[in-house]
Amino acid sequence: MAATETTRRTSVKKYLPDVNKNYVWGAALFVAGLIGIYYWGKNNGSVLPAPLPNDTLPKTDPVTGEKINALTEAESKLIVRLANEFESQRGYIINPSYELLNEILGTSDRVFVGTYNYYNQLYASPPDTLKTIINSYSNYKIWFSEINHQYDAIVARMDNLGLK
């Protein structure tokens, strides 16, 4: 009787002992969870560029194939300069200069949106955008100060243009 029981035990081959199976399944579920969190964060952690206002969108001429109404070189340089100056003047205690904020407010809609897109692409880390950064600055300034009014005006213009 003992001989048949030992032969029965040796004839059944186990790939892994029962204890190790639990560790393997646990590790597989853990890795699957990490991969799921990675892709969920990757999808939620990107800021899509805002479209330029419709009346200023670059258009392609159907006859020649050339771009009409594209950003000019001067507009592109202005966009880069405004975004870089805002980032270089940004700090915890120091405000961006009043003149810079006035210049940002005084630009055309497509330069304003272009600055927003360029800044988000280069300096903002998702889910933050230029709008959320300016909102946070506005919350820490005295509500009746001129700089706070500038921040509020920039945020209002972003709202009017549909920037998030």
DSSP-derived secondary structure for 14-70: -SS-HHHHHHHHHHHHHHHHHHHHHHHHHHHT--PPPPPPGGG--EE-TTT--EESP
Confidence class for position 22, pLDDT limits 50, 70, 90 = confident
Distance in angstroms (rounded) separating the CA atoms of residues 150 and 104: 10
pLDDT tens-place string over residues 75-87: 888 988 999 998 8
**Span 147-159, pLDDT tens digits:** 778 888 888 998 8
For the chain, the structural domain boundaries read 2-44, 54-161
pLDDT at residue 72 greater than cutoff 60:
yes
Q: How far apart are CA 71 and CA 77, in angstroms?
A: 10
